[in-house]
Amino acid sequence: MARPKPPPPTPSVRAGDLVVLRQSPEAIEGEIIAVLADGRYKVRWLTGSADQNRVTTVTRESIRKKTEPDRS
């Protein structure tokens, strides 16, 4: 009997990766500057009217890896 396939791995986020803040009214992009314990990350925000150039700590659930470059 064949075993069911395991789900695909969640894309890991590493230092230097670009991410997007989930559930934000504007597209806020940032760069991971440090990977912390328990699924937390330090992010330097690159865009966003209130967040640009700020560094904050976020959880894995609040960000997603940016997958496509800007087309501007």
Q: How far is CA 54 from CA 3, 21, 22, 51, in A?
A: 47, 13, 17, 5
Residues 28-33, mean pLDDT to the nearest whole number: 96
Per DSSP, the three-state class of 70 is coil
From edge to edge, which strands make up the β-sheet containing 40-45? Answer: 55-59, 40-45, 29-35, 18-21, 63-65
Residue with the larger pLDDT of the pair 49 and 21:
21
Please give the pLDDT value at position 54.
Answer: 94
From 16-25, 26-35, 40-49, 61-70, the region with the lowest mean pLDDT:
61-70
Mean of the per-residue pLDDT values of the chain = 85
pLDDT in tens, 55-69: 999 999 999 998 765
User: What is the model's pTM?
Assistant: 0.74
Token readout for 6 is 């395991």
